[in-house]
């Protein structure tokens, strides 16, 4: 099955560009990002810092209203807290004539996070329309979003004292200060690759806009979190983790997560007006990429790539059988 996905149409060479991209999902859905969102290393690092690593702190009450977003609840998002999560590293060839970014999510209870229909266990995309994600016509070009430009307006959001918000929480401050790490030169990029533009789809024509060159490596989220987390935590004095007692190595512990952000963003970054310090963005990106090194270099073991979620979908299966 997987070999069939690599026998595909080619991108117009005038616009073809190879990108190294990453995405997280439950292992059962496979690595091929049909109707999925991907990011470059900075873009996926940003997603991790804003929604994943912070979950033990943000989701202690199983809700989180601190992140500046509308759509998936980080405390219930299958791509943040799902079963047997993988982090996938891919090389895609894309048509570089990008369009607006589409929000792609897996269907849960036959719904997507924006209230539209999405069959459970399949991926659906909502396209950008007049400032909102909602069900509207998509095209087959690869979607693109500059993360710093899009989210930069939220810098300080939630971490500033006001009459109506006198006591910002550490979660609100860590989320706001994560944005301060991004720069115009290292802004983070997110991409959306839709089914209708997939060059590996049966019947794809010369107007297709993306294909998988290779799946470089698949690692477990658990291993990625440990290798990434240990690298970040080792950049700060051990006193914070030592104060966590028997939770000092538990990446699901609120204490561990709090120490992580103090190491990554600075010891005062969880307070209103606190300085943003800690690791440089380049060092954070290098730490985030470390799990994809070889095991001899301290990386994670490679996991088996599974067949993609759409292998039994009528639009794919019938054409393959034919």
Q: Which residue has tokens 């790539």?
A: 305
Cα dist. 298→84, 226, 230, 258, 292 in Å? 21, 11, 11, 24, 9
Structure confidence at residue 77 (pLDDT): 81
Q: Which residue has tokens 């979190």?
A: 225
CA distance 78 to 89: 19
pTM across the whole model: 0.90
Q: How many of the other CB atoms lie within 10 Å of CB of 1? A: 12
DSSP letter at 117 equals B
Structure confidence at residue 12 (pLDDT): 87
CA distance 269 to 263: 9
Would residue 188 be called left, alpha or beta, if left means φ above 0 and alpha means ψ between -120 and 50 degrees? left
Cα dist. 156→73, 107, 181, 244 in Å? 21, 32, 12, 28
Cβ(194)–Cβ(35) under 8 Å?
yes
Average pLDDT per run of 10 along the chain, which is 322 residues long? 52 94 96 97 95 89 49 76 90 95 92 87 80 62 94 80 88 92 95 94 89 97 96 96 95 95 97 95 98 98 96 77 47
Structure confidence at residue 156 (pLDDT): 67
Q: Which residue has tokens 């791509």?
A: 79
């Amino acid at each position: 099955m997987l070999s069939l996905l690599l026998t595909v149409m080619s991108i117009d060479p005038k616009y073809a560009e190879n990108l190294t991209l990453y995405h997280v999902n439950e292992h059962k859905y496979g690595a091929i990002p049909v109707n999925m969102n991907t990011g470059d290393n900075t873009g996926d690092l940003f997603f991790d810092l804003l929604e994943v690593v912070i979950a033990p702190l943000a989701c202690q009450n199983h809700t989180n209203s601190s992140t500046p977003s509308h759509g998936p609840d980080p405390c219930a998002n299958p791509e943040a807290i799902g079963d047997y999560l993988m982090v996938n590293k891919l090389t895609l060839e894309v048509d570089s004539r990008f369009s607006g970014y589409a929000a792609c999510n897996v269907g849960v209870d036959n719904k997507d996070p924006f209230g539209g229909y999405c069959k459970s266990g399949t991926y659906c995309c909502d396209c950008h329309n007049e400032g909102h994600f909602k069900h509207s016509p998509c095209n087959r070009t690869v979607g693109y979003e500059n993360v710093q430009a899009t989210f930069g307006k939220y810098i300080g959001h939630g971490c500033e004292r006001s009459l109506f918000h006198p006591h910002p929480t550490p979660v609100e401050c860590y989320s706001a200060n994560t944005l301060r790490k991004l720069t115009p030169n290292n802004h983070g990029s997110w991409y959306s690759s839709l089914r209708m533009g997939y060059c590996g789809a049966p019947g794809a024509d010369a107007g297709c806009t993306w294909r998988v060159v290779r799946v470089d490596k698949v690692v477990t989220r658990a291993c990625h979190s440990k290798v990434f987390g240990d690298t970040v935590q080792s950049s700060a004095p051990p006193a914070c983790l030592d104060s966590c007692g028997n939770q000092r190595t538990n990446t699901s512990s609120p204490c561990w997560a709090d120490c992580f952000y103090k190491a990554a963003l600075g010891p005062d970054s969880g307070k209103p007006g606190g300085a943003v310090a800690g690791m440089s963005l380049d060092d954070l990106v290098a730490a985030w990429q470390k799990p994809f090194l070889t095991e001899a270099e301290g990386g994670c073991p490679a996991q088996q790539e599974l067949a993609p979620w759409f292998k039994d979908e009528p639009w794919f299966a019938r054409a393959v059988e034919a």
